Amino acid sequence: MPTLPVFAFLVVAATLAGFIDAAVGGGGLVTIPALLLGLPGQAWPVIAGTNKVVACTGTTIAAGQFLRAKALHWRELVGPVCASATGASLGVATAYFLAGRFEHYLRPAMVVMMLAILAWTLWKPDAGQLHVPRFGLAHQRLLAAVIAFTLGFYDGLFGPGTGSLLIFLFVAVLGFDFLRASALAKSVNWASNMTSVVLFLSRGSWVPAVALAMAVGNGVGGFLGARMALAKGSTWVRAVFIGVVSLLIVRLVWQIVQG
Could you tell me the pTM of the whole model? 0.77
Measure CA of the first residue to CA of the last residue in the chain; give whole Å. 26
* 19 pLDDT higher than 60: yes
Cα torsion through 222, 219, 89, 95, rounded to 10: 90
Q: What are phi and psi of 131, to 5 degrees?
A: -90, 100
CA-based R_g, the chain, Å: 17
Q: What are phi and psi of 256, to 5 degrees?
A: -65, -45
pLDDT confidence of 102, banded at 50, 70, 90?
low
Residues 6+ apart with CB under 8 A from 184: 72, 76, 77, 80, 144, 166, 170, 176
Quote the crossing angle between the two packed helices 162-172 and 178-202, to the nearest 10°.
140
C-beta separation of 205 from 48 below 8 A: yes
pLDDT at 216: 94
C-beta separation of 31 from 17 below 8 A: yes
* CA gap 249, 108 in Å, rounded: 10
Instruction: Using alpha carbons, select from 41, 1, 17, 30 the residue that is nearest to residue 215.
Output: 17
All structural domains of the chain with their residue ranges: 4-258
* DSSP secondary structure letter of residue 202: H
What sign has the CA pseudo-torsion 188, 19, 28, 196? negative
* CA gap 153, 156 in Å, rounded: 5
* 73 pLDDT higher than 80: no
pLDDT digits over 197-225, tens only? 999 999 999 999 999 999 999 989 888 88
pLDDT at 162: 87
Q: What is the mean pLDDT of the chain?
A: 84
The C-alpha angle with vertex 81 and arms to 27 and 206, in degrees rounded to 5, equals 50
pLDDT at 127: 55
CA 42: distance to chain centroid?
22
pLDDT digits over 127-185, tens only? 545 566 677 888 999 999 999 999 999 999 888 778 888 988 998 899 888 888 888 99
